[in-house]
Amino acid sequence: MIADKADAVVVPVRIEGAQRSHLSYLKNGEIKRSWFPKVTISILPPVKLPINQSLRGKARRNAAGAALQDVMIDAMVQNAMLDQTLFEGLGHAYRDRDTGKPIIEDALGTKLTYRKLILGAQVLSRKLEQGTAVGENVGVLLPNSAGVAVVFMALQTIGRVPAMLNFSAGPVNVLAAMKAAQVKTVLTSQAFIEKGKLDKLITAMAGQARVIYLEDVRAGIGLGDKIAGFRAGIAPRVAREANDPAVILFTSGSEGTPKGVVLSHRNILANAAQALARVDANANDKVFNVLPVFHSFGLTGGMMMPLLGGIPIFMYPSPLHYRIVPELIYQTGATILFGTDTFLTGYARSAHAYDFRTLRLVIAGAEAVKERTRQIYMERYGIRILEGYGVTETAPVLAMNTPMANRQGTVGRISPLMQYRLDPVPGIEEGGRLSVKGPNVMLGYLRAENPGVLEPLPEGWHDTGDIVTVDAQGFIAIKGRAKRFAKIAGEMVSLSAVETMASALWPQAMSVAVSIPDARKGERIVLLTTERNADRAAMQRQAKSVGASELAVPADIRVVDKVPLLGTGKTDYVGATALAKELAAAPAVQAEPAAEEGGPEQLEQHVA
């Protein structure tokens, strides 16, 4: 308020390093101590607090506080060490954040400290560089484990680019991804292939690339390799630039053929810094990562951010083990959990009330969090779910609710140092199509139609394809995908809004709305649901109660045994649309409108 009342500028100053002193206020175990830490003082350019001059009283004080917090968070990210590679970032974390605890553990009992992780990567890299070239895209087909972290960092130290293959996507999508990234070598594990029953996938891949089993590589490591790896120290063996490609991830394929998303070292370092600036975490925490590393949320949020921030990680290979995961959270004493609504709902069904006693941060992304899920976690476990929003193209965190800035019904405020714009969409009055720009936005796409050719973004802006609104405090609310709107009789209808109504009616069921061609009205909405008693009359009453248009009531409701899902927990909209078309010829479930809901408009919709 002093800066606001005096109309003064604020000069952000960051003091880095003093927190590692033995006189630091931080508790033992939270950070690596040093008698004479290197202290860096960074003085940034002065800024004016952006406050709406029309605000008065408490609203103005709150706005001033939020504006100053933004300045401080921006200063943290601006001073983060982004002009380096991921391996150099790992070495920096080892020097400044290694408390001697294992930094990575997994379900096999493997425990790796920073030192062991770096040494293992340097030793393994000598074998992986044979038959590959600097800058080459190398496929990685591995589950969540300590081993995948070693392989990932081994490729980083020799300047190869890991292409993280989604083993749950099916042979067609995996081969399309490999073609887009021109992957000629794939690293995998024989034990993983056997346990995952991925023989057909490997057979399909073998015709397009050389498959290397890590068990064979490990057997060939000798004493000379270990000595050479030890002598390599913590510096990367091949020099790379911060803006060079660091990893290739692939879009989920929920709306079409997967595209390769090329992320630079700077992209991932920036996103990790953005998240760490908003989330208070240290070496006394433990991240429980069940999200696969081929998913950007699992790679950056679940692995790279904790590694760079000195936060221990427990890696678990499958998010679908709904009974086992809560038990392991209890046993490991995990404090931070990343997940999707689908997975969190599954854990809640099986978890004992004491299993989540140590959790203090549950951050959800990838899909909208249902109100029922929030209630269960708050009532049964006393945990507030913080919803975030990300896309693979932004490495992935784009916005996030935090303990200090949380607004239900939104996905939080945009990440530090990011810009956004809302482009108008014909037929949609509220909100616009979100485009973003910032240090965490990808280098570009790789497509199977044009293999190996990077398609950069126009002027650095990425069109998310999401329709959103942004309130006065900067909180983003997602209204739906631009592709997930049905145009019925000239009106735009949000399929996400249809799913929200179905979720409110049948909270225990899984429901997905899709649009299929309609000869008379252009498109019609089909709702696939696992609710056995679903009927259209109930949807009509729900639409009326929430003030939704009659057009938002599905023309057709189909009861299914299960809704098509991808391996990441997201809805498979391609599969759901295909299923809806297949079922479209069959009679609808109780399609007759209720008598009290009758009338010309309802009758017209029913006939359609």
Confidence of residue 596 (pLDDT cuts 50, 70, 90): very low
pLDDT digits (tens, 9 = 90+) for 402-420: 888 888 889 999 999 999 9
Neighbours of 62 (CB within 10 A): 12
pLDDT attached to residue 138: 95
Residue 247 near residue 269 (C-beta atoms within 8 A): no
pLDDT digits (tens, 9 = 90+) for 83-109: 999 999 999 999 988 888 999 999 999
- Residues 7, 57 share a domain: yes
Return the CATH number at 212. Answer: 3.40.50.12780
Return the CATH number at 539. Answer: 3.30.300.30
State both tokens at 213: 């089993």
Domain membership of residue 28 as a residue range: 2-78
The answer to whether residue 590 scores a pLDDT higher than 60 is: no
pTM of the model: 0.81
- Residues 120, 72 share a domain: no
| Number of folded domains that form the chain | 3
Going 338 to 497 to 540 to 560, the CA torsion angle's sign is: negative
pLDDT attached to residue 599: 38
pLDDT digits (tens, 9 = 90+) for 576-588: 888 888 887 665 5
% of the chain exceeding 70 in pLDDT:
93
Confidence of residue 162 (pLDDT cuts 50, 70, 90): very high
pLDDT digits (tens, 9 = 90+) for 105-158: 999 999 999 999 999 999 999 999 888 999 999 999 999 999 999 999 999 999
| Omega cis (within 30) before 171 | no
* Cα(292)–Cα(339) distance, integer angstroms: 10
pLDDT digits (tens, 9 = 90+) for 197-216: 898 999 999 888 999 999 99
pLDDT digits (tens, 9 = 90+) for 337-385: 999 888 999 999 989 989 999 999 999 987 788 888 999 999 999 999 9
- Residues 425, 498 share a domain: no
Q: Please, what is the average pLDDT of the chain?
A: 87
- Residues 470, 357 share a domain: yes
Q: In 3D, which of 255, 271, 367, 273 has the Cα closest to residue 319? A: 367
pLDDT attached to residue 588: 52
Residue by residue, DSSP assigns 459-521 as GG-EEEEEEEEE-TT-BEEEEEEGGGEEEETTEEEEHHHHHHHHHHH-TTS-EEEEEEEETTT
pLDDT digits (tens, 9 = 90+) for 446-474: 988 889 899 999 888 999 888 899 988 88
pLDDT digits (tens, 9 = 90+) for 148-161: 999 999 999 999 99
pLDDT digits (tens, 9 = 90+) for 163-182: 999 888 778 889 989 999 99
The answer to whether residue 597 scores a pLDDT higher than 50 is: no
What's the Rg (C-alpha) of the chain? 25
- Residues 102, 27 share a domain: no
Among 421, 450, 480, give the residue marking a domain's end.
Answer: 480
- Residues 553, 440 share a domain: no
pLDDT attached to residue 605: 36
Q: Which of 515-518's residues contact partners 24+ apart within 8 Å by CB, and which partners?
A: 515/486, 515/577, 516/577, 516/580, 516/581, 516/584, 518/488, 518/555, 518/608
pLDDT digits (tens, 9 = 90+) for 282-304: 889 999 999 999 988 899 999 99
% of the chain exceeding 90 in pLDDT:
46
pLDDT attached to residue 183: 94
Residue by residue, DSSP assigns 358-418 as T--EEEE-SSPPPHHHHHHHHHHH--PEEEEEE-GGGSSEEEE--SSS--TTS--EEPTT-
* More reliable by pLDDT, 252 or 15: 15
- Residues 62, 122 share a domain: no
pLDDT digits (tens, 9 = 90+) for 508-546: 888 898 888 876 667 788 899 998 888 888 888 888 888
- Residues 244, 386 share a domain: yes
Among 40, 55, 78, give the residue marking a domain's end.
Answer: 78
- Residues 593, 472 share a domain: no
Among 55, 78, 101, give the residue marking a domain's end.
Answer: 78
pLDDT attached to residue 12: 92
- Residues 92, 68 share a domain: no
- Residues 377, 496 share a domain: no
pLDDT attached to residue 268: 95
- Residues 464, 511 share a domain: no
